[in-house]
């Protein structure tokens, strides 16, 4: 289903438009309505509809101006702008957005449905292009890079559209159907006490991901701008905290022996919703900051920070 918003300051016009659209046949869903551009903007940020049907003359700013504004937030959004006879020529000259389809009043059912079909076809073509890009990347051995970009967007909160998340999980062949998730942040430290050159750490990242990815624990890792390795962990275990810490402890021992590198590790709390992962990531970073209070190579879980505060009371600066 593709979500739709209708904008018009006349309630009867909105009702008329709704009656003319073949919602079921086109697999469309009306998620919100607005009578002015400010309300429309607020509702867009909440519902993120992919198709917006708007009159050109709406209160505050015009439908075209609103289209120009929202297309900057999502270049894939499609606008159907309805104009009167007197402003149709103006609208034609003003439209510089490929995202806008113009219809002149009066609106007939076949016209609005044909315009919606064009928008739907656009989304279908974009999905086909993305699928082909994923196939090409997979064939060239670069699927892992695309997976890492997706996980980074998810963990930093840039990606919050549940439908888009679900689509990308399938397209990128990620196994994220487990009900519980957590974030671990790993800072590798070389024998001289410095963070190693990240150019030499691609193999280290792969080793960490392979070591952590075992039965009961799915892992996708990426390297952040500070050279830390961010790991998204997923599992179907009901109480996975001990298992995660045990696996990370084994990883520490392995890399200490094979690469002569210590690992500073912070772990965020387990969550049950992918959209809660940014919170777990923040907690993992706070836990990692407490590393300076304890011996090297100790793993710190966010849930145990209160224990460290009891023994090291002057810790406020670590969370800033």
Question: Are 116 and 228 in a shared domain?
Answer: no
Question: Are 112 and 221 in a shared domain?
Answer: no
Q: At which of 67, 93, 128 does a domain end?
A: 128
Q: Could you tell me if residue 153 is inside a domain? A: no
The domain spanning residue 123 has which CATH number?
A: 3.40.50.2300
Cis (ω within 30 of 0) for the bond into 317?
A: no
Bridge partners (DSSP) of residue 265 are 186, 299
Q: Distance (Å, rounded) from C-alpha 204 to C-alpha 201?
A: 5
The domain spanning residue 249 has which CATH number?
A: 3.30.70.270
Q: Tell me which DSSP letter residue 196 carries.
A: P
Question: Are 185 and 117 in a shared domain?
Answer: no
Q: Distance (Å, rounded) from C-alpha 246 to C-alpha 87?
A: 68
**What is the model's pTM?**
0.55
- Domain enclosing residue 191, as ranges: 176-319
Q: Distance (Å, rounded) from C-alpha 134 to C-alpha 168?
A: 10
Question: Are 182 and 291 in a shared domain?
Answer: yes
Q: What values do phi and psi take at 24, rounded to 5?
A: -70, -45
Q: Could you tell me if residue 143 is inside a domain? A: no
Question: Are 190 and 314 in a shared domain?
Answer: yes
In tens digits, the chain (320 residues) has pLDDT values of 899 999 999 999 999 999 999 999 999 999 999 999 999 999 999 998 999 999 999 999 999 899 989 988 887 789 999 988 667 666 665 566 667 788 988 999 999 999 999 999 988 887 777 667 666 656 556 788 889 999 999 999 999 888 889 989 988 888 888 899 999 999 987 665 555 555 456 778 878 888 888 666 889 999 998 889 999 999 988 889 888 988 888 888 777 766 667 788 999 999 999 999 999 999 999 999 887 666 555 789 998 886 555 444 443 444 33
Question: Are 297 and 202 in a shared domain?
Answer: yes
Q: Tell me which DSSP letter residue 108 carries.
A: P
Q: At which of 128, 154, 184 does a domain end?
A: 128
**Under 8 Å between Cβ of 185 and 256:** no
Q: Could you tell me if residue 160 is inside a domain? A: no
Is residue 100 helix, strand or coil?
strand
């Amino acid at each position: 289903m593709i979500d739709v918003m209708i904008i018009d300051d006349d309630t009867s016009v909105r009702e008329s438009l709704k009656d003319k659209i073949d919602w079921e046949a086109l697999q469309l869903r009306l998620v919100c309505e607005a009578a002015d551009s400010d309300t429309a903007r607020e509702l867009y940020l909440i519902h993120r509809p992919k198709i917006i049907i708007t009159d050109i003359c709406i209160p505050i700013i015009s439908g075209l101006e609103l289209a120009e504004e929202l297309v900057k937030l999502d270049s894939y959004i499609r606008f159907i702008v309805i104009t009167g006879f007197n402003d149709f020529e103006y609208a034609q000259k003003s439209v510089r957005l490929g995202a806008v389809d113009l219809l002149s009043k009066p609106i007939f059912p076949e016209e609005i449905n044909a315009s919606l079909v064009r928008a739907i076809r656009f989304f279908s073509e974009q999905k086909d292009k993305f699928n082909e890009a994923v196939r090409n990347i997979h064939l060239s051995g670069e699927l892992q890079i695309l997976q890492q970009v997706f996980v980074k967007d998810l963990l930093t909160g840039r990606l919050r559209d549940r439908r888009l998340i679900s689509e990308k999980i399938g397209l990128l062949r990620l196994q994220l159907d487990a009900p519980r998730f957590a974030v671990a942040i790993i800072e590798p430290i070389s024998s001289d006490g410095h963070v190693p050159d990240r150019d030499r750490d691609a193999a280290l990242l792969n080793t960490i991901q392979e070591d952590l990815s075992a039965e009961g624990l799915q892992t996708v890792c990426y390297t952040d701008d500070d050279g830390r390795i961010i790991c998204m962990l997923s599992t179907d275990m009901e109480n996975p905290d001990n298992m995660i810490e045990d696996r990370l402890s084994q990883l520490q021992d392995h890399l200490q022996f094979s690469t002569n590198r210590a690992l500073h590790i912070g772990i965020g709390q387990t969550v049950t919703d992918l959209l809660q992962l940014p919170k777990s990531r923040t907690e993992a970073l706070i836990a990692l900051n407490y590393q300076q209070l304890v011996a090297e190579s100790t793993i710190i879980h966010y849930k145990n920070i209160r224990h460290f505060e009891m023994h090291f009371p002057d810790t406020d600066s670590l969370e800033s």
